Amino acid sequence: MTSNSFNAAAGIIDEKKYFHLLVEKLRQIVVRPVKLMEVCGTHTMAIGKAGMRGVLPPEVELISGPGCPVCVTADSDIDAFMRLAKDERVILATYGDMVRVPGTEGSLAELKAQGADVRVVYSALEALDFARTEGDKEVVFLGIGFETTAPATAHAIKTAKAENLSNFSIYNLHKTVPEALRVLLEDETTTIDGFILPGHVSVIIGETPYAFIAEEYGIAGAIAGFEPPEIMAAIVKLVKDINAETPVISNLYRKAVRPEGNVVAQNLLREIFTSADADWRGLGVIPGSGLALSKNYEQFDAAQKLGIEKIQVKLHPGCRCGEILKGIIKPRQCPLFAKRCTPENPVGPCMVSSEGTCAAYFLYHGGDGHVG
Amino acid sequence: MCLAVPAKIVEIDEATFSASIDVMGNIRKISVMLTPEAKLGSWVLVHAGQAINVVSDEEARASLEIWEELLRDEQQF
């Protein structure tokens, strides 16, 4: 259990005890094979780190979903922001997760070694500092992430406008989760009996945007925290709901997720962004799953400002990341996994990101891919 | 990417929505624009330099109650 867990710090919960009690309960109640998808890449990592697959009854299969923002970034977008990084007018500010993603001429880390001005930041507000102090350069922030991360980008854009910063813009890769879940539910090649829903996306959006999963598709969902007993509690709840044939969306992460979500953040997102189509690796273009800059803020769109066009490219031949993101195959079924594609020399985004499914499997289920 | 870390606010300037948090002994500056209810001493979930929610003892205890409920027999559930 992590030492900075709120539960542990507050001295409220003996997490280890509950984890084992919940595992025991799960073994008692499971009556048929169930496939549960953990949507969020951070859950994938937490499940791997805690060795949870090893303690689950054989009937319960966890499959990893499209909830790793780096992994779902389309090749055409990767190619476009690489071209941006090479522009001599540009300082490209990015979260650390993106710097090793391979492009046609290497990763951002490699471009940096060749002289491109690529800077890793912890928050979008840090990128604003570059724009304030280096007025002769265009500071482009790589805006990536789901609803958890988008408010930070929105805050930076709003601040840039208030300060009349004309040398700040974003290359926008933000995406929203519920629409991707609908695509998975509509896809006849996927079988999902229940969703472990992303805790920190839900902090922002609340419970309601997932209602269609139970109401329209009859599939259960449980919003979960990131400590092992929090994830195990979600699994127990899903199996109970599946057994009872009462699919509902449960919130098992109430200490952080209010039913209505974070309304301040939602209002900020609505002010800065507007719903748009977005291109997802593996899932294709999903209507309404992106966040484009709204009319009042479109001057902060780096692609428009710097004339960067998206070109259809195929960057990672042989990589089956797309099928892995839909839960159709496991990493070990990709012929590149742990052979040509490793965390040291990743071929595709699912191996690059620390929370990518392939990276998690390599790290926690053995590079030989025999487990999991 | 979507992991938020719980941390305690050790300094806050409500006028500018800026705060300092203690993350395992390291002091970091964050924005509390998204959590206007955050106060000195509040536990907040922090992601990408922003507090995204305030967490409370009361809500954490509610989690415990949910777990107790899940552990009960089917008939009682």
pLDDT block averages, 10 residues each, chain A of length 372: 51 78 96 96 93 95 92 92 94 94 86 96 94 97 96 97 97 97 93 96 98 98 94 97 97 93 98 96 93 97 93 82 89 93 89 90 69 38
Number of domains in chain A: 3
Cα separation, B54 vs A253, whole angstroms: 13
A190 and A275 assigned to the same domain: no
pLDDT at A303: 95
Residue B3 CA: distances (Å) to CA of A41, A99, A195, A201: 9, 19, 18, 9
Greatest C-alpha distance within chain B: 53
Helical segments of chain B, H only: 57-71
A chain contacts of residue B55, beta-carbon cutoff 8 Å: 6, 255-256
pLDDT at B3: 81
pLDDT at B1: 75
A110 and A158 assigned to the same domain: yes
Please answer whether residues B59 and B65 qualify as being in contact, where contact means their C-beta atoms are separated by less than 8 angstroms.
no
Cα separation, A357 vs A42, whole angstroms: 10
B chain contacts of residue A41, beta-carbon cutoff 8 Å: 1-2
Is B58 a member of any domain? yes
Number of domains in chain B: 1
CATH code of the domain containing B61: 2.30.30.140
Q: Which SS3 state, helix, strand or coil, does residue A234 take?
A: helix
Check CB contact under 8 Å for A18 and B67.
Answer: yes
A chain contacts of residue B54, beta-carbon cutoff 8 Å: none
Is A328 a member of any domain? no
Is A70 a member of any domain? no
- Residue in the structure block whose two tokens are 């009042």: A296
Please answer whether residues A9 and B59 qualify as being in contact, where contact means their C-beta atoms are separated by less than 8 angstroms.
no
- Å between B1 CA and nearest CA of chain A: 7
pLDDT at A1: 39
Cα separation, A354 vs A363, whole angstroms: 10
pLDDT at B30: 94
Is B76 a member of any domain? no
Is B16 a member of any domain? yes
A41 and A152 assigned to the same domain: no
Print the domain residue range for B44: 5-71
Q: Which residues pair with A331 in a beta bridge?
A: none
pLDDT at A49: 92
CATH code of the domain containing A122: 3.40.50.11740
Cα separation, A367 vs A82, whole angstroms: 30
Please answer whether residues B6 and A4 qualify as being in contact, where contact means their C-beta atoms are separated by less than 8 angstroms.
yes
Q: Is the ipTM of this complex over 0.90?
A: no
Please answer whether residues A337 and A369 qualify as being in contact, where contact means their C-beta atoms are separated by less than 8 angstroms.
yes
pLDDT at B65: 82
Is B77 a member of any domain? no
Is A285 a member of any domain? yes
Is A369 a member of any domain? no
CB-nearest to A240 from B1, B62, B77 is B77
Residue of B nearest to A243 (CA): B74
Between A and B, how many residue pairs show a Cβ–Cβ distance under 8 A? Answer: 148
Is A220 a member of any domain? yes
- Å between B8 CA and nearest CA of chain A: 10
Joined together, the tokens standing for residue A52 give 């949870």
Phi/psi zone of residue A127: left (φ > 0), alpha (ψ -120 to 50 degrees), beta?
A: alpha
Residue of A nearest to B56 (CA): A255
Check CB contact under 8 Å for A353 and B1.
Answer: yes
Note the pTM of the prediction, 2 decimals: 0.92
Is B66 a member of any domain? yes
- Å between B20 CA and nearest CA of chain A: 15
Check CB contact under 8 Å for B49 and A126.
Answer: yes
A90 and A158 assigned to the same domain: yes
Q: Could you read off the pLDDT of B43-75 as tens digits, one per residue?
A: 999 999 999 999 877 777 777 788 888 998 664
A96 and A168 assigned to the same domain: yes
Q: What is the DSSP annotation of A198-215?
A: -HHHHHHH-SGGGHHHHH
- Å between B14 CA and nearest CA of chain A: 15
Is A358 a member of any domain? yes
By a Cβ cutoff of 8 Å, what residues of chain B touch chain A? 1-7, 23-24, 31, 33-36, 43, 45, 47-50, 52-53, 55-57, 59-64, 66-67, 70-71, 74, 77
CB atoms within 10 A of CB A159: 16
pLDDT at A9: 55
Is B14 a member of any domain? yes
Helix/strand/coil (H/E/C) assignment for every residue in A47-93:
HHHCCHHHHCCCCEEEEEEEECCCCCECHHHHHHHHHHHHCCCEEEE
Residue B69 CA: distances (Å) to CA of A123, A247, A302, B30: 39, 18, 50, 37
B chain contacts of residue A256, beta-carbon cutoff 8 Å: 4, 45, 53, 55, 59
Among the three residues A215, A242, A269, which one is the final residue of a domain in this structure? A242
Joined together, the tokens standing for residue A252 give 């098992």
Give me the helix-helix angle, A228-244 and B57-71, nearest 10°.
50
The order of strands in the sheet holding A249-251 is A60-67, A34-40, A194-197, A220-223, A249-251
Print the domain residue range for A356: 334-364
Is B54 a member of any domain? yes
Is A3 a member of any domain? no
- Å between A222 CA and nearest CA of chain B: 12
Is A253 a member of any domain? no
Please answer whether residues A6 and B55 qualify as being in contact, where contact means their C-beta atoms are separated by less than 8 angstroms.
yes
